[in-house]
């Protein structure tokens, strides 16, 4: 499939950004290179001051599928406000997600996922595998998520069952559940669990995104805060998914790890994240 000039895009891509212009341009390029072209890209800027505004105005002038928004800074924690703004201002049947430091590595990602959701009306959310990279764009590790709906539900409280930059989900269901809740951390995990109460989930056994794993990742900078919030999310969903106790124990290890010396955390966090993603 090639680029489309249709006025009503099938896919809306929500991409929040703040002062990462060089990475942002790579993310946008990975969207433009998709074989599926019937999309709109909503770039939602948290008032960057690195030239993002000028560059985005230039790009949106050249490609009308790219829409640029600047949202005033607020004290609200997390990125939920940006994601909900994107959903509420989108016009697509499906929503895809990207962050400004991630990009798609499979040019057929959207094409494959749209086809799947069109053919499986009982599914509300699809994702895929990830190649984790460092700030030098070197591969650290790669992982595939649990594939089938049954496997995803079985382990949904043990580890985040989807990776944000790989997903495509139904907009109408996202609106029905009220979008993303205002969690400072793991807002995506909670969102998937709520989406899953309205339909099935699936992860393609393919690598869809390059995922930057570096110091600017908020969950890596504040592991203790993230672990505390995950406890709350697990308790919220314990009646909808199995293995609540196991999930609680797994997160206890993450919480305890946050109390270890900083040099130890820095040297082991990536490995532990790999283990959690690989085996849970």
Residue 149 sits at φ, ψ, to 5 deg, of: -60, -40
* C-beta of residue 110 within 8 angstroms of C-beta of residue 168: yes
Q: Please state, for a pLDDT cut of 90, what percent of the chain lies above it.
A: 78
Distance CA 199, CA 173 (A): 9
Identify the pLDDT of residue 4: 47
83-117 confidence digits (pLDDT tens)? 999 999 999 999 999 999 999 999 999 999 999 99
Kindly indicate the confidence band of residue 221, based on its pLDDT and cuts at 50, 70 and 90: low
Distance CA 41, CA 98 (A): 10
Torsion of CA 34, 36, 39, 44, to 10 degrees: -20
Is the backbone of residue 47 left (phi > 0), alpha (psi -120 to 50) or beta?
Answer: left
CA 228 to chain centre: 20
> Rounded to the nearest 10 degrees, how much is the dihedral formed by the CA atoms of 62, 65, 66, 67?
120
Least confident among 35-49, 73-87, 191-205, 237-251 = 73-87
Burial of 212 (0-12, 13-18, 19+ CB in 10 A): buried
Query: What global pTM score does this model have?
Result: 0.92
pLDDT tens-digit map of 169-211 = 999 999 999 999 989 889 999 999 999 999 999 999 999 999 9
Q: Of all helices (H) and strands (E), which one includes residue 43?
A: strand 39-45
- Please give the Cα distance from 168 to 273 (Å, whole number): 23
- For domain 11-279, give its CATH number from 3.60.15.10, 3.90.550.10, 3.30.365.10, 3.40.50.720: 3.90.550.10
Pairing label, strands 123-133, 139-143: antiparallel
CA–CA–CA angle 94, 129, 13 (5° rounding):
25
The Cα-based distances of 212 to 97, 101, 104, 131, 215 in angstroms read 15, 6, 12, 9, 9
């Amino acid at each position: 499939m090639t680029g489309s000039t249709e006025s009503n895009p099938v896919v809306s891509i929500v991409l929040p950004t703040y002062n990462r212009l060089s990475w942002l341009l790579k993310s946008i390029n990975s969207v433009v290179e998709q074989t599926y072209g019937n999309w709109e890209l909503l770039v939602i800027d948290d008032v960057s001051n690195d030239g993002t505004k000028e560059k985005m105005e230039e790009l949106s002038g050249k490609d009308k599928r790219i829409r640029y928004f600047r949202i005033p800074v607020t004290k609200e924690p997390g990125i939920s406000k940006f994601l909900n703004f994107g959903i509420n201002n989108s016009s697509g049947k499906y929503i895809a997600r990207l962050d400004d430091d991630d990009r798609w590595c499979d040019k057929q990602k959207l094409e494959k996922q749209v086809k799947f959701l069109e053919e499986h009306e009982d599914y509300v959310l699809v994702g895929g595998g990830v190649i984790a990279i460092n700030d030098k764009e070197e591969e650290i590790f790669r992982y595939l998520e649990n594939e089938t709906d049954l496997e995803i539900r079985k382990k949904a409280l043990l580890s985040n069952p989807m990776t944000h930059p790989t997903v495509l989900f139904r907009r109408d269901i996202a609106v029905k559940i009220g979008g993303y809740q205002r969690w400072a951390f793991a807002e995506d995990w909670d969102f998937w669990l709520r989406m899953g109460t309205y339909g099935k989930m699936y992860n393609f056994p393919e690598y869809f995104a390059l995922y930057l794993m570096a110091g600017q990742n908020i969950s890596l900078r504040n592991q203790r805060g993230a672990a505390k919030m995950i406890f709350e999310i697990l308790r919220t969903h314990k009646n909808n998914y199995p293995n609540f106790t196991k999930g609680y124990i797994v997160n206890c290890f993450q919480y305890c790890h946050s109390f270890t010396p900083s040099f130890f955390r820095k040297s082991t966090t990536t490995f532990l994240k790999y283990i959690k993603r690989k085996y849970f």
